[in-house]
Chains A and B, each alone.
Chain A
């Protein structure tokens, strides 16, 4: 049971990092369907740099940078060139997965030798239940929690965050108020990519910790779902991340609990739930604004206002 909870937090943190990044991009108005590719790029970069330098922290930074770069590419296509966000995002997923496979082709199954070992909180780990579950995790888990708080604070308590949210709700209003919508969106999608890269680093530096071509295993899509499930709020997304992490963790443990339910069917749950949440949101949005950023997915060009 403790193992289950520990794994839930573990997996959940991974999902949370990627989902937080996606949420930030969407809050600014950019739909990023390239998360899967950005996680892959972060994973392979983290691994490769860890291999080269033996320093997992440098590897983490490199992974974040790689993810951010791919995010910036998405921003370039969608914000500067005005291409369709769906098309750009998906092609970046294909690109990211492909490039990651290319870069990592020689390193499949090898250990990097530089891992992010779980943080030692000392006596805290001896607390029954909470100890091993909360206080024996990889540093990235705690980073994810910090990232969540920082995101909340910036978005709802700073001028920058107000501008970001305005860009995602009504780009012309943000523009009229003197903000650069293009600049905000580019920055947001780069941060989003960076967080996805961190999620990837978590995979290859902590969780597995190896590189293999299919390592991302669809978690990018779960992250996209998670943002909607959490109605674009860092707190609710965190709760959702734990929930989805639980379903992932249960997949391999159902047998041990003696539950005779197919783990495969269980793994459908996050997606089905997300569709349900979206339907509910849409129904309720007939009379009130939806929690979804109103300008999400729509390119903004001042001349055509």
Chain B
């Protein structure tokens, strides 16, 4: 009696991951059709509208690019940590922490010239995100505390911190029943780029490229690769694992914080408790699909941005926004399954060879 078994391939299938990604997308679209038909909509018209609204014309592109910024930066944050085998699940909170830092600077810099305010805001954002990640980083580097849980928990802490600020000290006196933070003053807003897009798009692109270069061309990136490959090899090569873990996790937090600063200053007009809007978690999906490589993060983030913006736009057609959420998850499922097949192949094994190991 034979049964199927997954056997590791000697060579990973070339081009496996982009193909897996494509398969995931196809699977998602197909299932999406079912969902749409199920809710009484015409799938083709819906998809058409999604495409138009996200990638159809320069204005659509500008909105999509704006959305791709936090997705891409969060994805980068997770990918940077992920290349060393560390999981930063706290991007959601680090984005918030970055926004808090930026908002604070904006509040005290009401009459500073715009470039100064914005630069200070973004710097504070990076600091905020990095600080939130510092605790988990030290805990992991020194004691070996699992960073998945510590970063996850701090998400909730950071979100509540924002809530507390908005309900308390930062409450706009004009908002009575529903506490809101005051809007950002004009000098604290990122200048526009084209159509609806803001300069943050360029900033994010620069950061992603920077990290891509650093990972592949610098000594630091090299050490990261070695440390991510095997701890024993790293020791052999004289690389301090503790220092690497610390710097990588804090840096990861800083990148996520940066995303928060840009999102605040560019897209949102005030700090809200929904600012991070699931970007942190989506970033994990983005990074996973990009195989933890900065080079892939931009492309995946763009696609997810398109799906999200498209999803928003079809609400006016009466389609629930949840459809786009489901699509994003489905893309990942399809990609997981396809990705496995690029590393393993299915073999039928005779039932009696269980346990016959070398």
Contacts and interface: CB of A to CB of B under 8 A. Distances in A.
Interface residues of A, number: 49
B326 A92 contact: no
A154 interface: no
A303 B8 contact: yes
B209 interface: no
Given A77-B336, A81-B340, A90-B284, A272 B8 contact: no
Contacts of A303: 7-8, 357
B101 to A, nearest CB: 18
Contacts of B39: 102, 105
Interface of A: 31, 33, 77, 81-84, 86-88, 90-95, 97-102, 105, 213, 218, 221, 224-225, 228, 262, 264-265, 267-268, 271-272, 274-275, 278-279, 282-283, 292, 297, 301-305
Given A105-B322, A275-B153, A93 B281 contact: yes
A275 B320 contact: no
Interface string B87-98: 101000000000
The list of the 8 closest CB pairs from A to B, nearest first, reads A98-B325, A95-B329, A101-B322, A102-B322, A98-B326, A271-B153, A264-B164, A282-B145
Interface of B: 6-8, 35, 39, 87, 89, 135, 139, 143-146, 148-150, 152-157, 160-161, 163-164, 167-168, 278, 281-282, 284-285, 288, 320-323, 325-326, 328-330, 332-333, 336-337, 339-340, 344, 357
Contacts of B167: 262, 264
Given A278-B149, A303-B8, A264 B163 contact: yes
Contacts of A101: 320-322, 325
A94 B325 contact: yes
B357 A81 contact: no
A87 B357 contact: no
B80 to A, nearest CB: 16
Contact of B149 (A88, A267, A274, A305): A274
Contacts of B156: 218, 221, 268, 271
A75 to B, nearest CB: 13
B228 to A, nearest CB: 14
A113 to B, nearest CB: 23
Given A81-B336, A87-B332, A282-B139, A31 B148 contact: yes
- Give chain A's interface secondary structure class: helix
Given A82-B6, A93-B281, A101-B320, A224 B152 contact: yes
Given A272-B153, A282-B139, 18 more contacts: A77-B333, A77-B337, A82-B6, A90-B284, A91-B332, A94-B278, A95-B325, A95-B326, A98-B322, A98-B323, A102-B39, A102-B323, A102-B326, A225-B149, A228-B149, A264-B163, A268-B157, A278-B145
B145 A279 contact: yes
Given A105-B322, A225-B153, A86 B143 contact: no
Given A95-B326, A98-B326, A268-B157, A83 B285 contact: no
Nearest to A88: B336
Contacts of A95: 325-326, 329-330, 333
Nearest to B355: A302
A279 B6 CA distance: 38
29 contacts: A81-B337, A81-B340, A82-B340, A87-B284, A87-B288, A91-B336, A92-B329, A94-B282, A95-B325, A95-B326, A97-B322, A99-B326, A102-B39, A105-B320, A221-B153, A224-B152, A262-B167, A267-B160, A268-B157, A271-B153, A271-B156, A272-B153, A272-B157, A274-B153, A275-B135, A278-B149, A279-B143, A301-B6, A303-B7
B152 A264 contact: no
Contacts of B282: 94
A97 B149 CA distance: 21
A292 B144 CA distance: 13
B44 to A, nearest CB: 19
B152 A221 contact: yes
Contacts of A91: 285, 329, 332-333, 336
